[in-house]
A = this chain, B = another copy of it.
């Protein structure tokens, strides 16, 4: 209760980083992106988050009294060494364009730290398709998308859940990318938010999962081309989720051969 929760804010950090812009452009050209969209996905993101999304999120979490560090994909071992993970209570994850570049070995390490160690994981927005989230879910984790800068209204549907702390009954993201159902994840242990989109879709936007000793929260908002991680309600949710996902201090998982606790005649 007393020691501050230790958060590692992880970011792919490609969209905001000019060193990756050429690569991003060439990747997105394959999807037939227009010049404007290519620019949005590179210089556009950089102008909103000049030092990376992780810097904005981590600054906010520090203000909340958490002990915060950041890590990015380009660092050695993606910044997620054994030591860093051992000192991390909750890991927030943002990735998008370079999911496949994340090392399977590190994914396995993070998985174990969640499942066996009890570290919390908060998957943000496009992290729905990160290797670590897909591995923890067991489904395709795919969904519908549309980039039209339309309105999203996020409704609380489990008002007693700690992740709804301090929120109004709904809040709006004035301009966002749409994510629509089917969102191919297992039904969450607790569904906290459902989104309404202007274009006619709905989405399960706040999903809680227990996985072994760990807790996982998926939170939808956060498209990189829009200043969503500056929005107070979004930051409030991330703060709440960090508190909820922190290790609970429950028993370790003990597997394997087990002598009888009662006499077997």
- Contact in complex: B194, A202 (CB < 8 Å): yes
Query: What residues of chain A have their CB less than 8 Å away from a CB belonging to chain B?
Result: 115-116, 118, 135-140, 142-146, 148, 150, 153, 155-162, 164-169, 178, 180-184, 186-187, 189-191, 194-202, 204, 209-215, 247-262, 264
A169-B182 contact, Cβ under 8 Å, with A142-B255, A254-B144 = yes
State which of B165, B196, B248, B262 has its C-beta within 8 Å of the C-beta of A249: B165
Nearest Cβ distance between residue A152 and chain B, in whole angstroms?
11
> In chain B, what residue has the closest Cβ to A168?
B251
Contacts of A254 in B (CB 8 A): 144, 169, 182
Nearest Cβ distance between residue A180 and chain B, in whole angstroms?
6
- Contact in complex: A187, B210 (CB < 8 Å): yes
Contacts of A202 in B (CB 8 A): 153, 155, 194-196, 202
A162 vs B214: C-alpha distance when bound (angstroms):
11
Nearest Cβ distance between residue A54 and chain B, in whole angstroms?
25
Nearest Cβ distance between residue A218 and chain B, in whole angstroms?
13
Contacts of A255 in B (CB 8 A): 140, 142-144, 182, 184
Q: Interface majority SS on A: helix, strand, loop or mixed?
A: loop
Nearest Cβ distance between residue A243 and chain B, in whole angstroms?
9
A–B pairs, 26, beta carbons within 8 Å = A135-B138, A136-B139, A140-B212, A140-B255, A142-B255, A144-B255, A148-B264, A153-B200, A153-B202, A155-B201, A155-B202, A157-B181, A157-B182, A159-B253, A160-B213, A164-B249, A164-B250, A180-B258, A182-B212, A184-B212, A186-B210, A187-B210, A194-B202, A196-B200, A198-B262, A200-B261
Contacts of A262 in B (CB 8 A): 198-200
Contacts of A257 in B (CB 8 A): 144-146
- Contact in complex: A160, B248 (CB < 8 Å): yes
- Contact in complex: A251, B201 (CB < 8 Å): no
A67 vs B262: C-alpha distance when bound (angstroms):
41
- Contact in complex: B260, A146 (CB < 8 Å): yes
Contacts of A250 in B (CB 8 A): 156, 158-162, 164-167
